[in-house]
Amino acid sequence: MQRNGIDIDDTFAEAFPMKATRLIITAHNDTWAQHAAIAATGFATSVIACGCEAAIERPLSPDETPDGRPGVAVLLFSMSGKELAKQVERRVGQCVLTCPTTAVYAGLKDGEPIALAKNLRFFGDGWQISKMIDGTRYWRVPTMDGEFVGEETTFVVKAVGGGNLLILARDTEAALAAAEAGVAAMRAVPGVIMPFPGGVVRSGSKVGSKYASLSASTNDAFCPALTPLARKTELDPGVNCVMEIVIDGLTEADVSAAMRAGMDAIVARGAEAGVSRLSAGNYGGKLGPFHFHLRRILGGEGAA
């Protein structure tokens, strides 16, 4: 299958179940809402070592937030609700409570409840007070700039992690430009994040390693420098750079929509922009139950 001169591999991205929550962070203005959101979602590219995968979902206008102030929606994903609860409390406590003028609210209204400001209220040292509004409890914690307001709990839902897209290009410049276009299109899709820096990962991995202590290692089949050396390469002559976009979503449909948007954006640029193929990473269906077939997503023929 070929679109605008770019080959679409007959393959699928393999994703796995995760747990997720959405938080709404507000502040006196956009700048401080962004500061808090960026800090709270830092060091959260992969559950392999970070404990969670997190990023900004989108900015929010005052008419979209609970307190009528500028805000940011962030999504956090982890492999278990217990780990996610730990990550939420630490990140909000260290990066949102500490940030001038901020408040934090649940961005989902259904699911398994976990603590948001429920325990952070104790920072108030007895001066904290609660307020019930329409059956929801909020905590007001005195701070040196006024007060920190936080909803008592947020909600965790089942989610999907590890959707991905591999971009095979003639050089670094072409691969980066395509990846940037793909990520920009995906960010317009609600319910998803691309957790790696700028939404792009160069160190694509495979499961396992020759070193027993490592659970993942470099995806040598897609490493151009190893084309003459690897036991099995997936690269054609002329492919000198591969970039990967990893997508986490609240639902399977969200991930599929993001992948479609990203592929459409890359395909629209045409093969003359330097991308020869689009592919995806999978482990033969052994890693996770969610299989995102590239050709099906684009509306063409695909493997069953």
Q: For residues 1-8, give the mean pLDDT.
A: 97
CA distance 68 to 154: 19
Together in a domain, 169 and 126: no
Together in a domain, 147 and 171: no
Closest CA to 8 of 162, 180, 168: 168
Phi, psi of 177 (to 5 degrees): -60, -40
Q: Please, what's the b/e burial string for 49-72 (b: 16 or more CB within 10 A of its CB; e: otherwise)?
A: eebbbbbbbbebeeeebbeebbbb
- SS3 of the chain: helix, strand, coil, percent, to 5: 25, 35, 40
Mean pLDDT for the chain?
Answer: 95
CA distance 131 to 126: 15
* Helix axes of 172-186 and 252-269: crossing angle, nearest 10 degrees: 140
pTM for the model: 0.94
Phi, psi of 186 (to 5 degrees): -65, -35
Position 216 scores a pLDDT of 87
Q: What CATH number is given to the structural domain containing 249?
A: 3.30.70.520
Residue 134 lies inside a defined structural domain of this protein: yes
Q: Where are the alpha helices (DSSP H) in the chain?
A: 30-40, 81-95, 172-186, 252-269, 294-297
Together in a domain, 163 and 153: no
Q: Which residue has the higher pLDDT, 147 or 300?
A: 147
Q: How confident is the model at residue 302 (pLDDT cuts 50, 70, 90)?
A: very low
Of 114, 129, 157, which residue is a domain's last? 157
Residue range(s) defining the domain that contains residue 84: 19-157
Three-state secondary structure readout of 219-257: CHHHCHHHCCCCCCCCCCCCCCEEEEEEEEECCHHHHHH
User: Percent of the chain scored above 90 by pLDDT?
Assistant: 91
Domain count, the chain: 2
118 contacts: CB under 8 Å, gap ≥ 6: 139, 152, 153
Q: For residues 155-173, give the mean pLDDT.
A: 98
Residue 304 lies inside a defined structural domain of this protein: no
> Per residue in 31-54, pLDDT tens?
999 999 999 999 999 999 999 999
